[in-house]
Amino acid sequence: MIRQLKQDFREKARNANIPLEVTFELTYRCNLSCVHCYLKGETCEEMTTGEIFAVIDQLAECGTLHLIFTGGECLLREDFFDIAGYARSKNLALSLITNATLIDGPTAKKFKDLNFLEVSVSIYGLNCHDRITSTKGSFIKSHEAIKHLIRENVSVQVKTPVMNLNFNEIEQLSVFCEQLGLDFAPNPFITMCSDGTRKTLALRMDDGQLSRYTCERIESGERASGFNSFCNTGRSVAAISPSGDVFPCIAFKKSIGSLKKQSFSDIWNNSPYLSFLRSLELAHMKECSVCTVRNVCRLCPAEALEEDGDILSPHKEACRIAYMRHKLINERKCKC
Amino acid sequence: MLMEKLNINNYVKRKKEIAFQNMDQELVLLNLESGVYYSTNKVGQRIWQLCDGSMNIREIILKLSDDFDKSSDDIKNDVLEYINDLINEDLLSLYS
């Protein structure tokens, strides 16, 4: 009667349009000022605790299993643990993406007590971290927080956007994570600013830097996951902004409705834009569907739309990264 | 744990380290400690619902026999086996 699942339930959720995983931005406020952040001083009228509880009720009704809290820095909300506790009372799995500077010993224990599935901490490098956050002392605080979380046996992931400012510290950071037993998730995708400007794109690695970084990652045994279907945006994933706007996923900047005016299920089941997204198949992506490096490409249609103007066209940055990896593997420039 | 050790007078309760959600005629469970996902069918879904600590196994069997219009004797072994599986997978606590 009971069986262990692998991935088939995700496929089922996708096919049935069940919002299994929802990314919930609780605030745009942040105590750091990271140079690559896609939020550039956004402010908004945040939902109240009561409004967020009502949204959590609606998500649980719609089939959500996993809530990922992000921001801004969520822990700036004084009601964060009330919100997390309420979501757990609805039997949801919780994760948090945080800079961790506000996590001390007692706070780390709260994550354990609420059975957080994972706390993802943004770390950019052992030396350059404070330069990237524009905040002196931030690395020490985040590092201390990680130690508190480890002590409480909370699962910690280190998330690292890889840029031309920190690419030469990634190997060192990888060793740091390995020594502490942390999951390390470097990511070379730097996104545009949410106001539509491209300032952050100048932080991307150039081809030489990308080649060196990719080689290191291949040699460390990292496997790139490709794609063989249109992504799950608006099907089994969704995102919610601090003011209650709903998005097909965290990468999409197009709001499909406001929770201040409609219920989540109303938006989820009746949005014309979601119907459009759900009608898209890989075959509609004429270039990507026949691409020879699809098996190592992390295509994001939302980023293709945002940056290159067409959801069905290749995302040029994803192409650059995938072709680099493909080339390095084929030319056996790496030991892999 | 061996099934023989299960006593139908024991109470069973879902562990707090579990996230779960109904999905299209089945139940998906996630053990937040191990990260392992599980699924169960409609009957298993109902049993899980009843394992809130307020009933012992005997009462759960009686409730299920009502729900599914089957005799207690017919379903007893299946229910015990299922509860045993849930305990073995560390999803359920057993107490007297």
The pLDDT tens digits of the residues spanning A56-109 come to 999 999 999 999 999 999 999 999 999 999 999 999 999 999 999 999 999 999
Per-residue pLDDT for A254 more than 80?
yes
Considering only A203-207, A318-322, B3-7, which range has the smallest mean pLDDT? B3-7
Interface touch B19/A92, C-beta < 8 Å: yes
Confidence of residue A334 (pLDDT cuts 50, 70, 90): low
* Amino acid at the residue A72: G
Task: Tell me how far apart the alpha carbons of residues A308 and A90 are, in angstroms, rounded to a whole number.
Answer: 40
Q: Which residues of A touch B81 (CB under 8 A)?
A: 1
Over residues B56-69, the pLDDT tens digits come to 999 999 999 999 99
Q: Give the number of other Cβ atoms within 10 Å of residue A178's Cβ.
A: 11
Average pLDDT for A300-323:
94
- B29-88: pLDDT as tens digits: 999 999 999 999 889 999 999 999 999 999 999 999 999 999 999 999 999 999 999 999
In angstroms, rounded to a whole number, what is the distance separating the alpha carbons of residues A187 and A164? 12
Q: Do B39 and A3 touch (CB under 8 A)?
A: yes
The 10s digit of each residue's pLDDT in A217-234 is 999 998 888 988 999 999
Q: How confident is the model at residue A169 (pLDDT cuts 50, 70, 90)?
A: very high
Query: Beta strands A21-25 and A66-70: pairing type?
Result: parallel
pLDDT given for residue A333 in this prediction: 57
Nearest to A12 among B18, B23, B85 (CB): B23
Tell me how far apart the terminal alpha carbons of chain A are, to the nearest angstrom. Answer: 42
pLDDT surpassing 60 at residue A3: yes
pLDDT of A336 > 80? The answer is: no
Q: Sorting pLDDT into bands at 50, 70 and 90, what band is A195?
A: confident
Mean pLDDT taken over chain A? 94
Chain B contact for A4 (CB, 8 A cutoff): yes
Q: Among A16, A63, A65, whose Cβ lies nearest the Cβ of B30?
A: A65
Model pLDDT for residues A262-285, shown as the tens digit of each residue? 999 999 999 999 999 999 999 999
Q: Using CA atoms, how far apart are residues A156 and A98, in angstroms rounded to an integer?
A: 11
pLDDT at A194: 85
pLDDT band, very low/low/confident/very high, at B2 (cuts 50, 70, 90): low
Separation between Cα atoms, residue B62 and residue B81, nearest integer Å: 16
List, as ranges, residues 104-163 from A with C-beta within 8 Å of B. Answer: 115-117, 155
Is residue A41 very low, low, confident or very high in pLDDT (cuts 50, 70, 90)? confident
CB-based contact, A2 to chain B, within 8 Å: yes
Are A149 and A103 within 8 A, CB to CB?
A: yes
Q: Enumerate residues 26 to 55 of chain B having a beta carbon within 8 A of any beta carbon in chain A.
A: 28, 30, 32-33, 35-41, 43-44
Q: What pLDDT digit, counting tens, does each position of A123-159 carry?
A: 999 999 999 999 999 999 999 999 999 999 999 999 9
Whether residue A208 is predicted with pLDDT greater than 80 in this model: the reply is yes
pLDDT for residue A296 is more than 70: yes
The answer for residues whose C-beta is within 8 angstroms of residue A269's C-beta and 6 or more apart is none
Q: What pLDDT was estimated at residue A335? A: 52
Say if the Cβ atoms of A65 and B17 lie within 8 Å.
no
- pTM equals 0.94
Beta-bridge partners for A161: A187
Chain B residues with CB inside 8 Å of A115's CB? 16-17, 19, 32-33
Is this prediction's ipTM beyond 0.85? yes
Q: What is the mean pLDDT of residues A286-306?
A: 93
pLDDT score recorded for residue B3 = 62
